[in-house]
Amino acid sequence: MKNKWNLIYEIIMVALATYSVSMIWGETQLFSFADRIVWLIFFIDVTVRLMTSDSKWGI
């Protein structure tokens, strides 16, 4: 069951990354705001993964 949730989570992250890249050239404030929300989600994801990892230096 955990693998299923990991797969769903990774698919959502790929979809967000694709959305973010496609909105790079958007010039409206809505696109800019949505892009910043996606970057905030990425930042939180990386921070949580770093804090919860057993080995933070890859050793």
Task: Note whether residue 59 is domain-resident.
Answer: no
Task: Note whether residue 34 is domain-resident.
Answer: yes
**Predicted confidence band at 58 (pLDDT cuts at 50, 70, 90)?**
low
Task: Note whether residue 28 is domain-resident.
Answer: yes
Other CB atoms within 10 A of residue 38 CB: 19
> In the chain, how many domains are there?
1
pTM, two decimals, is 0.72
**Full domain range(s) for residue 7:** 2-52
**Predicted confidence band at 56 (pLDDT cuts at 50, 70, 90)?**
low
Alpha carbon 36 to chain centroid, angstroms = 11
Average pLDDT, the chain: 85
Task: Note whether residue 58 is domain-resident.
Answer: no
Task: Note whether residue 36 is domain-resident.
Answer: yes
CA-to-CA distance for 39 and 36, rounded, in angstroms? 5
CA-to-CA distance for 40 and 45, rounded, in angstroms? 9
